[in-house]
Amino acid sequence: GTYTVEGFAPAFGPLAAQQAVVTDTTNPTITFTVNVASLKTISGTVTQGGTGVAGVKIGAHGTGATTGGNGAETDANGNYTLYVPTGTYEVGGWSETIGGLPPQAVNVATANATNVNWSLNAQGTLRLEIQNASTIDQLFGGAFNATTGRGNGTNSWTASSTSKVANIALPAGTYNVHAGSPSLGEFGSQT
C-alpha cells in the first residue's frame, strides 16, 4: 500500500511527511533530514537555589499567528535548547519535583532567544496530613501560590495510624493548600 510516513525528533519538532509505497517485493527506506538552518533556537537554564535542575519538561507553544511548538527536557545542569520555526511562543515547564514554571513570552521572529531562564527559590517540602482518613481511597492535595497560580500537588498518600500523609516539593514561598476526595469533595484549605 501507499503510506504517509511522519516523525518527530525531540528538540527539533515535527519532521516533514513523506510518501512510501510498500509492495510484496519493495521495502522502501525513508530518510528524514532536519534542516536546522531554517529553525530558530530558544535556550536557557532552570536553577533552584543556584543549582541547575535536571529533568524539567520545557514546552513552547505558538501564540498569535504562530502554530505548533516543541518540547525538550533540561539536562544534568538544568540547560535546555528548543528548535522552532520563526514566530512567537509561550514557553513554560513542569516537573514532579518543582511543579510548574510560570510561562514566558518569547519572540524568535528574527533571531534566536537565549537566556530564557527560570531561577527558583530553594526547594522545601510541605507535609500534608489528613486525620481520620485511613479508610478513604482517593485523596488529592495541592499547594498553589495565590499570586502566580503555580504550585504542585499529589494524589499519592501513605497511611499513618488513622491519618494519611503526603509530601509536596515546592520552591520556598507562601501557598494556598487544598485537600479533598472525589467522593467527599474538598475537606478544607489553609495558607
The DSSP code for 113 is: B
Helix (H, G, I), strand (E, B) or coil at 37: helix
Helix (H, G, I), strand (E, B) or coil at 22: coil
pLDDT digits (tens, 9 = 90+) for 162-185: 999 999 988 888 999 999 999 888
Torsion angle of C-alpha atoms 176, 179, 182, 186, degrees rounded to 10: -70
In the chain, the largest separation of any two C-alpha atoms, in whole Å, equals 69
The DSSP code for 141 is: E
pLDDT digits (tens, 9 = 90+) for 12-61: 777 889 999 999 998 899 999 887 888 999 999 999 989 999 999 999 99
Place of cell 474538598: 186
**CA pair distance 108, 88, nearest whole angstrom:** 6
**CA pair distance 176, 114, nearest whole angstrom:** 33
Global pTM value: 0.67
**CA pair distance 122, 51, nearest whole angstrom:** 9
